[in-house]
Amino acid sequence: PIHDSSGNVIGAVLLHRQVEDIYTALKPGLLVLLFSMLSALAVSGLLAVFMAERFNQPLMRMAYTAEQLARGNYQIATGVRQDDEIGLLAQNIDNLAGELHATEHERERLEQMRSDFISNVSHELRTPVTVIRGSVEALNDGIVTDPQKVSEYYDQILAESIQLERMVNDLLELTRLQNPDYKIERVEINLPAVVEDAVRSIRQVAQAKEISIKPDINASQVSFYGDYGRLRQMFIIVLDNAVKFSRRGDQATVEAAPQGDSYKVVIRDHGKGIPQEDLPFLFSRFYKGKRNEEQKGSGLGLAIAREIADRHGVRIDIDSKEGSGTAFGFIFLGKPSVVGK
């Protein structure tokens, strides 16, 4: 019974089981709870170790990759592929390695070009300088005394000096065009007028070889933004080659006409054509074929023409077969505006 302060019975507690039995029933529950806590602690520890490894291994691989990049090994990659922040960081490191590899490859290419350029310049300059020196020494030492021979030696010195001057000028021109900081003057020009001007300039050279140049210009006014002098120079270089490699009495044609959204100029000769093995190297500096006509130039003309075309966004197509002539096509891709015909 439960009594109040006055001794009256106000309630009673009824026990269906003994208290000792309740304590006995609690012990297995406490053991289960303890086991569960220990199991949860073990599982969380294993998960912590797994997560630590999952974070640590990619970080270690990225650290190793960064170390290799610092040592100049730009072909390495992290190999980490995860859809999280670590995976994004690894991808950025791989992209950086790729950019560095491309930059290193470009540096090596430019270094090789520089080495080849110096070698080619040295080779090309050595011949005229040697000829001039030999001729001057022969005249100075009195080895050559016959007036006709003396005149021939002077003519040879003059010819080699002109060739040397032309080569130096072409080198300076090509170097200037290949400099990214060199800005060409772009103004609105009339493309047919540029073509006609180039044809007029080369006619005197063509007449000396009895070669006629026939222009076929389809439009009288085609507006284009570019450098008039440079584009004229580009056409003259190819026209000069057309005359040089044409047979006496042949005809060269210059066709110019709109072509869709572009404007195409084709300079065609009916000369000896270009051997197939020479086509891949046609725009290389100092490259000369084996024919006698090709040995007279500096080997820089077409390289200059290519640089001018690239600066204006002009595509150059070549169609040539040995023995049946050559056609140089200049496609102006800047959507020239045809005003009149």
Pick the residue with more confidence: 228 or 334? 228
Residue 231 scores a pLDDT above 80: yes
Residue 294 scores a pLDDT above 50: no
Confidence of residue 259 (pLDDT cuts 50, 70, 90): confident
Which tens digit of pLDDT belongs to each residue from 309-318? Answer: 888 888 888 8
Which tens digit of pLDDT belongs to each residue from 13-28? Answer: 877 666 666 667 777 8
Residue 136 scores a pLDDT above 60: yes
Pick the residue with more confidence: 241 or 341? 241
The pLDDT of residue 335: 56
The pLDDT of residue 288: 61
Of the ranges 46-55, 175-184, 323-332, the best mean pLDDT one = 323-332
Give the mean pLDDT of 138-157: 83
Residue 233 scores a pLDDT above 80: yes
Residue 124 scores a pLDDT above 80: no
Residue 245 scores a pLDDT above 80: yes
Of the ranges 42-46, 203-207, 297-301, the best mean pLDDT one = 42-46
Over the chain, what HEC string results? Answer: CEECCCCCEEECCCCCCCHHHHHHHHHHHHHHHHHHHHHHHHHHHHHHHHHHHHHHHHHHHHHHHHHHHHCCCCCCCCCCCCCCHHHHHHHHHHHHHHHHHHHHHHHHHHHHHHHHHHHHHHHHHHHHHHHHHHHHHHHHCCCCCCHHHHHHHHHHHHHHHHHHHHHHHHHHHHHHHHCCCCCCCCEEEEHHHHHHHHHHHHHHHHHHCCCEEEEEECCCEEEEEECHHHHHHHHHHHHHHHHHCCCCCCEEEEEEEEECCEEEEEEEECCCCCCHHHHHHCCCCCCCCCCHHHHCCCCCHHHHHHHHHHHCCEEEEEEECCCCCEEEEEEECCCCEEEEC
The pLDDT of residue 19: 64
**What mean pLDDT value characterizes the chain?**
80
The pLDDT of residue 292: 47
Pick the residue with more confidence: 216 or 293? 216
The pLDDT of residue 116: 67
The pLDDT of residue 295: 46
The pLDDT of residue 77: 84
Which tens digit of pLDDT belongs to each residue from 187-217? Answer: 888 888 888 888 888 888 888 888 888 888 8
Residue 291 scores a pLDDT above 60: no
